[in-house]
Each structure stands twice: as C-alpha cells, then as structure tokens.
Structure 1
C-alpha cells in the first residue's frame, strides 16, 4: 500500500488508541498512585517491546544511541508520569483536549530550535490554539471547583516534550527502524522505572487479594500494550513516512475519542468547553495548513 494511503490509516488507528489512553489512566489511578502507574506502564511496555524488538537493536548505530535515549525520555519517560499526576486533579477528557496542542508546540520549537521558517498564518494558528487552551482551563476551573486546574500545566509540559520528540525523530532517527527506536527507548527507561516502582511502595500493596488494585493493573496492562508499545512503533513509523506536523496531527482526532469516553464515564462537558475545544482545533488546523502550503 502506498505511503500516502497508509499514513492516513496509521493516523486514524493511533487517534483511537491514544484517545482511549486517558480514560485508561483514569481507571488505573483508582487503585494506583501516579508513580506506580507510570512505572508499571513503562515496565509492561518494555517487556512487550524488548520481547519482540530485541533483535532490531542491532540496527541502531553507535552515534544514534544518544538520540534514542533523548527520545525515550521526552516521548515516554517523563510524559507517562506527567499525565498520571494531571489526571489526579482534572478530567480525562480535558487532558485529551489539551494534548492537541502538540502540533502548535511543534511549530514553536521548529522555529526556535530546528530552523523552521516563520509563517504568519502559522503564528495566527498558534495564538488561536493558546487562546482556546486558556479558555478551556478557565472554564473547567469554574465548573469543577473541586479540581485543581493548575495541573493542566503538566499536560502542556508533556505536550511540549512530545513536540520536541517528534522533531528529533524526524531530524536524527529517520533511517532507524521504528521498532528499533521504540525498543531502544525502553533500554534507557526500564531500570529507572524499576527503581521508581520499588520506592513507590508498590510491592507492599495487597495485589493478590485486592480486586480494585487488580483491576487497575489490568487497565495499565491494556494501556501499556496498545497505548504505549504498539502506538510508539506506529507513531515512529508515521513520522518517518510523513513529517512531524502530519504525524502530530493525530492530536486533532484524539479529543473526540477522549471526550466520548469521558462523557460515558460521567464527566461534565459544557457547550463553552466545546467552543474552546473548537478554537484549539481551528488553530491547529490553520497552523498545519499553512505549513503544508509552505
């Protein structure tokens, strides 16, 4: 199948997988704290990826390992904990919407760090996206007074890491197989994750007798296999067959999935929040269309 068609399939499948990841994080936090959730997510994902991708590590050149380590930290190591902490205070649907700022942040970092051309229409898109994100946070804070919307900043930080990650993969790891990048990432993450899990008190929990805890771990297993291991390989491949902005466009569709799951789980979502979401997506669209024309 030609790359032109295949990349769209990857985009839609990833939007469903990642759009569902926020509700899985929410369910996992019922029995686990953020450190335990993030560490388990890394360890489960590492097990799957290293099991199937161990041989691919031979294809990573010595000079590429530095970038493999950096993308591991930016693309997985830090965001899994940031999202987990964010969802202790704000709804999973809002987290999914704020994550759609990745393409806008990719534009900003492209200009500041990667020598990308400044385009006025892109700048307008960035401003719209920022206005929408600010409005979404403000409205959410007014509606959910018991939630601490300062935690939304953790989502923006995680999205910034994703934006850096996608540019680095395209710039420095274009020729490395997608499975090798994903497996290599976890070579750097598996030991720190094991240490974090140990100091988090996880091994003192009644895993064999607590049904709620078992259920939470089950959600994280699903999240790790599909939302991290499989999705990372697919995303790396998508970046290589397209470009950073198109690949990060998966965040256009993720809010639809995350909001649907949030509503099904009883989360509040008002018309004002819907309008703020549209402003974000319009901003992302304007910025992306300007880049395509350029």
Structure 2
C-alpha cells in the first residue's frame, strides 16, 4: 500500500498532538495559575530540547538569531500565556475551535505583509473552513453558562501570533534545520519564563499534591505538545506552504472535541456537521 505524502502524515500527527494540548491545559489549570502553567510549559520544553538539541544551535548563523528570537516570541511565548489565561473562562473545546482562525490570518498576513501569493481555491477553502468554525463556536458547550467570550479575544490574538510565526519561518528560516530553530526558540525563552515563574507563588505551592499532579500534565504538554510538535511543525512549513502548515488548526478541534467527550463534555450533531465543513475546507484549500 502506497503511503500518503510526508506532509500529510506530519499534518495528522500534529493534529493529534496539538488537539490533545487543550485538555492538558485544562487539567494543568486545576493546580496551577495561568502564568505558572505557561512558564512551566516553556521550562520543561527548554530543558528537554537542550538535552537533545544543544549541538544543533551551532547551525544557526549569527545574523539569523534575531529571527529565531522573533519566532520564539510569536510562535510560543505569547500564545503559551494567552491560551492558559483564556482557558480559565473559555472551555478547551471552544479554544481549540477559535484556534482554527490561524490559517486565515496566515493567508492574509502572508499576502499583505510578506508578499506571498495564494490561489483562489485556497481562499475559498479557508472561508469554508471558517464557516465550519463558526458553526462549532455557536453550538459549543454552553450548558453551565461558564463561557466568557471576552477571554476568547485572547485566543484570537494568539492566532495572529501563530500566523506571524509561520510566515517568518517560511520567509527567513527555511534553510535552518527544524531542531535548530526549536532549540534556539526555547533558549531565548528560558530566562524570561523562569523569571515570570519566580514572581508567582509557585515555590509555596510546589509541595501540594494538586500542584504536582498538574505539573505532570504540563510536562507532557511542554515536551510532546510543544517541543516535539514544534520540530515537526517547522519541518512541515519547510516542505509545504505556510497555508498548508497552518491548516493543521482545522483538524485540531476534531481531536479536542473527542477529548471533550472522554471528559464528559457533549458533542451534538450540529458540531459534527461543523467539523465536516471544516475538513471540506482543508481539502479545498490544499487541492492542487
């Protein structure tokens, strides 16, 4: 049996990993506040990447470190805290759905700022995908009245950060190895993330069982959901296009909603229809 192209294998692997990230954030917030969670996520990932990718740092030319710093800021640092804050008021499923706005922002920023071209079918596919996203948003689990859509704006800001990151990598770092980019990102972020953690009450709470349990979820989130995923995501950007790479955010809500089912959240027929529309948009946007 012929295997699908590598870019599609990576796309679905990323969807599985990142689709699971939202439930991990939800579980991590049980024993940590958003700033502790965001900082620990970065620190765990940084330690892991320094162990496996320290030697790869020498492959980054000196003049490209400014772009590595920018991609660390937009690709991980800001979104790590924004998503953690947002999930204190907005469900993990809704956050994952709003994350699907990333491809549209990638397309618009790529065309307006970075001078990238796009085809008509890509634009139509992204619009269809966003239509499915709207269906999912307005049929989200709202039963307990706990949704606070003011916090949803933070997720929208995060999607703009992700879109900026994708275009920066494609434009300025396409010739740098993915492991080098990712390790460089977290070397840049390690000190500020540690400083933020030290300004919280983490040291007085670290001995609590709830905090230690939450740290386990954040460790998985940091190492697998951030470190490993970023390496293969940068690889995907390099072998495909920014729009194709960011289309992973269309698949993430499907995985996140399935995790929600396992966590006793409901999934309606309308949500399933919205998910189908999303997948149709992905197909159209990436059809040759």
Normalised to the residue count of structure 2, the TM-score between the two structures is 0.91
The question of whether the paired residues in 1 share the 8 Å contact of 2:24 and 2:221 is answered with: yes
Aligned to 1:55: 55
How many pairs does the alignment contain?
Answer: 287
Q: Show CA shifts across 1:112-152 (max 9, x none).
A: 11113364444444444444444443443864522202222
Q: Alpha-carbon deviation of 1:257?
A: 1.1
The reply on whether 1:239 has 2:256 as its aligned counterpart is: no
The question of whether the paired residues in 2 share the 8 Å contact of 1:91 and 1:262 is answered with: no
What is the alpha-carbon distance in structure 2 between the residues aligned to residue 252 and residue 135 of structure 1?
13
The reply on whether 1:29 has 2:36 as its aligned counterpart is: no
Q: Please identify which structure carries the higher helix content.
A: 1
Aligned to 1:222: 220
The question of whether the paired residues in 2 share the 8 Å contact of 1:46 and 1:190 is answered with: yes
What is the alpha-carbon distance in structure 1 between the residues aligned to residue 174 and residue 4 of structure 2?
17
The question of whether the paired residues in 2 share the 8 Å contact of 1:141 and 1:148 is answered with: no
Judge which range, 24-33 or 231-240, deviates more. 231-240
The question of whether the paired residues in 1 share the 8 Å contact of 2:68 and 2:185 is answered with: yes
The question of whether the paired residues in 2 share the 8 Å contact of 1:104 and 1:125 is answered with: no
The reply on whether 1:177 has 2:190 as its aligned counterpart is: no
Q: Map of 1:31-46 to 2, 5 A cutoff? A: 31-46=31-46
RMSD: 2.3
Structure 1 alignment gaps of length 5 or more: none
Q: Alpha-carbon deviation of 1:280?
A: 4.1
The question of whether the paired residues in 2 share the 8 Å contact of 1:101 and 1:280 is answered with: no
Normalised to the residue count of structure 1, the TM-score between the two structures is 0.89
Distance 1:157 1:266, change over 3 A: same
What is the alpha-carbon distance in structure 1 between the residues aligned to residue 18 and residue 213 of structure 2?
20
Q: Alpha-carbon deviation of 1:83?
A: 1.0
Judge which range, 62-71 or 270-279, deviates more. 270-279
Q: Map of 1:144-223 to 2, 5 A cutoff? A: 144-205=144-205, 207-208=206-207, 210-223=208-221
